[in-house]
Amino acid sequence: MSNDDQKTSPSSLNRPFRVAVAQIAPKLGDVAANLEMHKRIISETTAAGADLVVFPELSLTGYFLRDLVSEVALKRDSSEIIQLSDVSSHTSVVFGLVEESSQNQIYNGAVWVEGGVVQAVHRKAYLPTYGMFDESRYFAAGNRMRCFDTRLGRVGILICEDAWHLSNTVILGADGADLIILMGNSPARGVNTAELASQAVWHHIARNVAMFLNVPVVFANRVGYEDGVCFFGSSQVIAPGGSTLAQAAQLEEEILWATIDPSATRQARIITPLARDERLELTLRELERIAHERNQA
């Protein structure tokens, strides 16, 4: 029940491609300054041979926006998105933004641009609203979880809390992901152990997604401080199966480079054919039973 041959990815790259992960510290609420930074990084990494540039969650705006969300929200036809599309003719770029729909719903979003156009938009579907997080107050929740085709293959995006729900990983795997992008704004928390607790958890997630889906995973996390909260960075590129291809510094700005090789994905899928053996009908049947029983209760 995989999507094997159901969809033909348009001219996917079959050669290894270079990924640049922009581990940045955006200015809070200053879209113009952050846009200039994005353009500079895209220009420099494109010149250095990047096929894909990945920015973290809310990279155009910063995180603790609170009432600023409506002031920094961008519609699909905004000049900022057009400007970033314009610099994507040779490089695919994915960045984070506050996205406003035509119905004026405001989302925590991610936009994938390539070949000069917007290829896809993902809207964060799971908004953390507990502890130090308050996203449901400020954002509408996305209602879609699906992969999209790019020149690098079929891609699924999970924005931060999205990745904490295994159901999303399962969906993107079933939808035929060749590459998973995890875009985070994860704060540094838990300083009682040798490894920063929040970092350890995120690296587990990235490795698990790569292992269970047998795809490469890019984890892009930001750094810097907002109102005393520190974001830890430590972005990663993980190979299919879970080994670490590259890892950025903790707490420091960095452009992290890695090469993703589609032939490694092929090898992993042949050695451990998890996707082949996935039983979508069984999953669906049991989930439907559970949903039915919950409705009865």
Partner 1 sequence: MSATKPDSDHQNPSQNMHTSQPCPHATPAADPLTLNLPLVQKILVGFIRNEVLRTGLKRVVFGLSGGIDSTLAAYLAAEALGPENVMGVRMPYSSSSSETMEHGQLVADRLGIQSKTLSIAAQVDSYFSQLSPDVTRLRRANMMARQRMTILYDQSAEFQALVLGTSNKTELLLGYGTLHGDMASALNPIGDLYKSQVWELSEHMGVPPEIVKKPPTADLWAGQTDEDELGFSYADVDRLLVRMVDQRIPLADLENEGFQKQFIERVARMVRTTQFKRRLPLIAKVGPRTIDRDFRYSRDWGT
CA 148 to chain centre: 13
Q: Closest separation between CB of residue 125 and partner 1, Å?
A: 24
Phi, then psi, of 114 in degrees rounded to 5: -165, 155
- The correct pick among 132, 194, 293, 296 for binding partner 1 (CB under 8 A) is 194
Q: Does 29 bind partner 1 (CB under 8 A)?
A: yes
Binding to partner 1 by CB under 8 A, coded x per residue (else -) over 246-265, reads: -----x--------------
188 is an interface residue for partner 1 by CB under 8 A: yes
**Cβ–Cβ < 8 Å for 59, 221:** no
Q: Are 180 and 168 in contact (CB under 8 A)?
A: no
Beta bridge partners of 52: 19, 92
Question: Using CB under 8 A, which of 2, 12, 18, 30 touches partner 1?
Answer: 30
In this structure, are strands 17-23 and 117-123 parallel, antiparallel, or unpaired?
unpaired
Stretch in the footprint of partner 1 (CB under 8 A) among 85-93, 101-109, 205-213, 221-229? 221-229
Cβ contacts of 187-195, under 8 Å, gap ≥ 24? 187/132, 187/229, 187/230, 187/231, 187/232, 188/230, 188/231, 188/232, 188/251
- Residue 23 Cβ vs partner 1, minimum distance, rounded to whole Å: 14
Of 103-162, which residues contact partner 1 (CB under 8 A)? none
27 or 146: whose CB is closer to partner 1?
A: 27
- Residues from 63 through 82 that contact partner 1 (CB under 8 A): 64-68
- Give the nearest distance from C-beta 137 to partner 1 in angstroms: 9
- Residue 160: which region, alpha, beta or left (left: phi > 0; alpha: psi -120 to 50)? left
Binding site for partner 1 (CB under 8 A): 27-30, 64-68, 188, 191-194, 196, 224-228, 230, 251
